[in-house]
Structure 1
Amino acid sequence: MSVYLAFSIGPVQTFIAEARRTQDLRFGSYVLAQLAREAVSAVERVMEGSVIYPIPLDPDITEKAKRSVAVPSQLLAVFSEEKQAVEAAKYAAAAVQAEWDRVADRVRKKLETLPDFNKGAWEEQVQRFPKIYWVTYDDHDQSASYGESIRQVERALHLRKRLRDFEATHDEGLKCSVCGLRAVIGKTPFWDALSRRVNESQIKASSNEKLCAVCTTKRFALAYAYSPESYPSTSTMAAAPFIRALVEQFQQDPVSEVKEALERHRQALDELKGESNNGRFFNLSNPLPDFKKFQPNPGIPRNPALELLRWDGDTLFPETFAPNRLKNDYGIDLKDTTLGPVVSEAAQATRALIGVVRRQLPDVRPPTPYYALILMDGDRMGELLREAPNKGWHQSFSRALGIYADETVPKIVEQEHAGRLVYAGGDDVLALAPIDEALQIAERLRQAFCEAIREALEALEAPPLLPPDMSGGIAIAHHMSPLEVALRGVREAEKAAKGAYGRSALVVRLVKRSGVPMQMGMQWGAYQEGASKNPRVGLFQQLQDAFRGKQLASRFAHRLFEEAPVLAGLPEA
């Protein structure tokens, strides 16, 4: 007899998506990844080799991926006795809760000395998270196939999740500005004091942002419970193409006038930081891994354009220095300070830098206010896994997914390109990217996924009923738009790729600050093994280059979009 266990930590998507900042996205994913690892380890301690998905990777890979954000949606395991399955589930639940309590306790100890901290609200909210669901399924007469047993235990878990646990809550008063569900854990004096305390770190907090215990734990988890990490804002991601182009230009041919403008910009920001005693502009470390290749070796003069990486991308947009923006985003109130001339110089230095680059380096485009979110998801993976003939086959396939998520995805997003990974859950990926690299990243993720799945199936001597593929959505959003709007846009794009475009597709959605979003999409076409580039993506890149080289007028894109409904109905040549 085989007894199957399905175990889930939740809510995964809402916990990650409840975010006002990109770091909330990343840190939420990271915390859930650690909780999932604790669950897997606990189950393996009960019976080694019992876990079907996600497979614990080799120690060397795990060491490299300690800071990875592979977030599996559920854990599957199989045992020979029901007693073992129940024991494993209980151990896993206890391990997950213990890790969450440890993280929350670390954060609480850093905050509880501040004025007006509500310890009672903190403890109540922390105890209600996370939600843990598990079910077992035993095939007494062994009449069901392995795939049918997996279907049954997954169905049982789905039904268990629908059977909600209703708990009495006492969340009275002002609600959290991130999730909007739970009460805040402190009054205004608490958040004012916290905002002053964290100025010198890269964990951003603001007195006009008040959080609950769960969202506070997520915001400060890496700083206080794991290890600090710098993560780019939407503004930094939007400005990345400009910074890279400037850095590459200085690698080849430094321009003295641009160098002088960079130095003026640096001095103005240094003075603003010093005079305001405000460290929020400053990045603790380079948040864009792709830029590490430009770091100088000892004895080689530093590229002056790399100084731009010290600062948030906000500082390359003159509107950042408007009084309302400074007050809301950085806590600098010009009415209460004598910073007016310093702020004015920072704004003028920024405009001067952009102006000089326009004149001296016409091929370097000014900072764009838009960035991209990429969401990719494997097609019909449930159908494929339900055809698994046995446990060993399933584990081998899960291992291939694990290596893709832990090794391949970070390499593509963060080493081959200047993106940053939010999470990778086996066959689903969420990442931020500069808009000029979003298509290439999506294409490479799809290509690598198809290769990984094909190789795994070939090794298992199991040709798939359907060729493996991946659909995706890209949302292009303004760096000042609410993050939740961009997240909604990328989910709608990915949903359209799997629905309206019939899977094996990519949809790009422009989320404008006002007006109706614009959307277009395409099917990838048949996967070509060994092909370096998808021909349809290549066509878009040719159009991109033609616009940059001014071979095509900007109005061509608008005319093409107007004619798209008619053109889409024409037969292919």
Structure 2
Amino acid sequence: MAQYLVTLALGPVQGLIEAARRTRDLWCGSWLLSEAAKAAALVLHQHQPGCLIFPCPANPKQELKPSERIQDDFANIANILRAEISADSEQAVRQVLEQAKQAAADRLADLCLRGRGKLSNLPFHEDIWNSQCKDILESFAAWVLIAEGQEGYANASVRLGGLLAARKATRDFVAAAAEANGLGFGIPKSSLDGSRESVINLSRDKRKDPQYRTALLKLGLGEGEELDALAVAKRMAGATDQFTAYSRIAADSWLETITAAAQSLDGVNKAYEALVEAGLATKVAGNNGIYNNMPYDAQMLFGFRLDNAITAAHKESQDDLPLLQAMQNELRALTREHQEPVPYAVILKADGDRMGELLSKASSAEKSRQISQALHGFAQQVRAVVRQYRGHAIYAGGDDVLALLPLQQALPCAQQLAHLFAEALNPVAEQLGVAMSERPTLSVGLGIGHLMQPLGHLRSRANAAEASAKGNSAAQPRNALAIQLGIRGGAEVSFRCRWDDPQSLDFLQKMTEAYQSNQCPSRLAYELRAIGLRLSWAKAEEPQPLPGIHAAELSRTLARKRQSGGEGELSSATKALLAAQAEKVGLLDLADSLIIARWLSARTAQDLGAMQ
């Protein structure tokens, strides 16, 4: 029998994960793709136990079986599989891969049906539903014969990558537009995927009918929103209460402060439970129950969201009004002492560096499996680590991470993940003879955004932060942290430093702590930015990055500044910290760093005050 190196790529990632209007769509879409990949990987494993390279779980029979619920401590299976298969002919290889493709498609179709089953009385366009369910998954396979000899596996691996890329480039492109009077003609397009028609056969007027209210609330269908078959699965296939809303993440530090002060949340929780029963809010029961002090989506803890809901109830549903007003009374009582929670949270997006170089060092399937096992071991730790920092991981597979985090926990969580990644990959990199300076690292992007911003904007910001951390055009690329802050109605502010730059990391952490303890005034950042802009004509001389007049103005400004609230001068330690960082990066970058530190320190909306 001959040895073949095979690969199977499932997608489209854009449709299955990226096409999302809510973080709930991202969360469930990641699970759907992982479940499809697990089904395909299980077929390969059953055909030839031990053949899998990527993924390479320690217990395939257990880890690759279908999950009935999204598990709080699972590692996602990536959408590109690789295996080494013994076969008599290429036809036999093709047959196995076709079986794996079919298993993936069947699993996804089953999850779509499961989601629809929770909407029993909602009318659907049956023909469109059936057509879309058959056409969701794209599968691309490639294989290559492994030649005998020392370089056989390495050469096959390189060739396999090229073959897969070529196969993807030769896909069949089907026209998105429906033919006149044909299937889908005249049907509104899906709000998540504009290339697909909506499967919901219900006019806008009929959506006001009370008999459909429960189903539409389960879907979380926004005004004017339409959903295709995959979008329905994203909203319904997973257990809704397992997902943690972005708003609950944003409110978490504030709620923890109240709990720490031994103030009861019973009144708010009771009012929120009534909203859940009426379909106006959702529960949060996943992530190992870490949000049990207030196990709800927390949207109504933000006054502007609650006011909007009350205004809508006046117009549309008077029955909901008493429940919302009861919530308003509880919130007013709570915020008299604690203000309102900060309406910002963080999307963390991380990716491994130099993974291609590491994989190219593997001269056998067994060495590739060692890399795969190291990556899987890291991914299995991610959810617990993110949970430790009060966040919820959306995706953790291989060297890719996507998670939601409260402001105050985002920086230490990013640092911990970077440390764990290096710790997981260092042993196998050492075995493969990779120099310390060339070993894999983790680049992490933190996108900070307001909860009222569209998900597309939040994701784009996290993507931009990750790209900045990668820094392909930077003098020192990769192995970095980047933060992108989007101030609602204001500017985009950014920060970047490498993980091996202790001065910048220490500065950000200490200034965040200074803001938390009211040792630094909020307006200092904007004053320093104004000075930097006003004196931009003064150019620095190498190797000194800070012009003398900038340094003098900084010293003068710090000398007259008082701590937050006007209590006492800035400490000498804070002044020295600011001066040292200004000499390193200049006044404008210093100001941006301070603005980001202020946001990372915030628990309440009042903490940001006029900075918003």
Question: Is contact 1:188–1:207 with CA below 8 Å preserved after alignment?
Answer: no
Are 1:29 and 1:69, in contact at CA under 8 Å, matched by a contact in 2? no
1:6 corresponds to which residue? Answer: 7
| SS in structure 1 of the partner of residue 481 of structure 2 | strand
| Higher radius of gyration, 1 or 2 | 2
The total of aligned residue pairs comes to 520
Q: Name the TM-score, length of structure 1 as normaliser.
A: 0.82
The residue that corresponds to 1:96 in the other structure is 104
> For residues 104 and 268 of structure 1, what CA distance do their matches in structure 2 show?
34
Instruction: Name the amino acid aligned to 2:137.
Output: P
SS in 2 for 1:372: strand
Q: For 1:49-60, what aligned pairs fall within 5 Å after superposition?
A: 49-58=50-59
How far the C-alpha of 1:191 sits from its partner, in A, is: 5.3
- Name the counterpart of 1:175: 189
1:255 is aligned to: none
Query: Which residue of 480, 483, 496 corresponds with 1:508?
Result: 483
Once the two structures are overlaid, the 10-residue window that deviates more, 39-48 or 461-470, is 461-470
Contact 1:17 1:484 in 2 (8 A): no
Tell me the CA shift for residue 104 of structure 1: 2.0
Which residue does the alignment assign to 1:530?
A: none
Secondary structure of 1:432's counterpart equals: strand
Alignment of 1:331-480 (within 5 A): 332-337=313-318, 340=321, 343-357=324-338, 366-405=340-379, 407-414=380-387, 416-458=388-430, 466-480=438-452
Residues 46 and 87 of structure 1 are in contact (CA less than 8 Å); yes or no, is this contact kept in structure 2? Answer: no
Q: CA deviation at 1:110?
A: 4.2
Cα distance in 2 for residues equivalent to 1:162 and 1:412: 38
Change (3 A) 1:404 1:60: farther
The residue aligned with 1:520 is: 495
The aligned runs of 1:285-296 (5 Å cut-off) are 285-287=284-286, 289=288, 291=290
User: What is the CA distance between 1:28 and its match in structure 2?
Assistant: 0.6
CA contact (8 A) 1:290 1:418 kept: no
Post-superposition shift, 1:317?
0.9
Structure 2 length-normalised TM: 0.77
CA 1:158–1:515 in 2, change beyond 3 Å: closer, same or farther? farther
Q: How much has 1:345 moved relative to structure 2? A: 4.6
Cα pair 1:195 1:206 within 8 Å, conserved: no
- 2:35–2:66 Cα contact (<8 Å) kept: no
Equivalent residues in 2 for 1:211-250 (5 A)?
A: 211-223=227-239, 229-250=241-262
Residue aligning to 1:312: 297
What code does the residue aligned with 1:36 have? A
Alignment of 1:80-95 (within 5 A): 80-81=86-87, 82-95=90-103
**Alignment-mate amino acid for residue 196 of structure 2:** R
Q: Higher relative contact order at CA 8 Å, sep ≥6: structure 1 or structure 2?
A: 1
Post-superposition offset of 1:91:
1.5
What amino acid sits opposite 1:220 in the alignment?
Answer: M
**Contact 1:497/1:521 (CA < 8 Å) preserved in 2?**
yes
Which of the residues 518, 522, 540 maps onto 1:550?
Answer: 518
Secondary structure in 1 aligned to 2:398?
coil
**C-alpha distance in 1, partners of 2:136/2:242?**
26
The answer as to 2:507 corresponding to 1:539 is yes
Check if 1:77 corresponds to 2:112.
no
Q: Which amino acid aligns with 2:522?
A: S
Specify the SS of the correspondent of 1:424. strand
1:56 is displaced (CA, Å) by 2.7
The one-character-per-residue Cα deviations of 1:21-75 (angstroms, maximum 9, x if unpaired) are 2211111111111111111111112222222111133269839995225141411
Tell me, what secondary structure is at the counterpart of 1:371?
A: strand
8 Å contact from structure 1 (residues 134, 157) kept in 2: yes
**Post-superposition offset of 1:506:** 1.1
**What do residues 432-491 of structure 1 show as CA deviations (whole Å, max 9, x unaligned)?**
000111111111111000000012334566656712211111100101111111101111
Change in 2 beyond 3 A, CA 1:561/1:525: farther
CA distance in 1, matches of 2:414, 2:425: 17
| Residue pair 2:41, 2:64 contacting (<8 A) in 1 also | no
Contact 1:413 1:421 in 2 (8 A): yes
Q: CA RMSD in A?
A: 3.1
Distance 1:326 1:471, change over 3 A: farther
- Contact (CA 8 Å) 1:376, 1:430: kept in 2 or not? yes
The percent identity for this pair of structures is 27
Unaligned runs of 5+ in 1: 251-257, 296-305, 359-365, 527-533
Map of 1:361 onto structure 2: none
Give the residue type in structure 2 aligned to 1:147. Answer: A
Which secondary structure state, in structure 2, belongs to the residue aligned with residue 4 of structure 1?
A: strand
CA distance in 1, matches of 2:271, 2:117: 37
- For residue 352 of structure 1, report the CA deviation from its aligned partner: 3.0
* Per-residue deviation, residues 491-527 of structure 1 (Å, max 9, x unmatched): 111112112441111110012333442211111117x
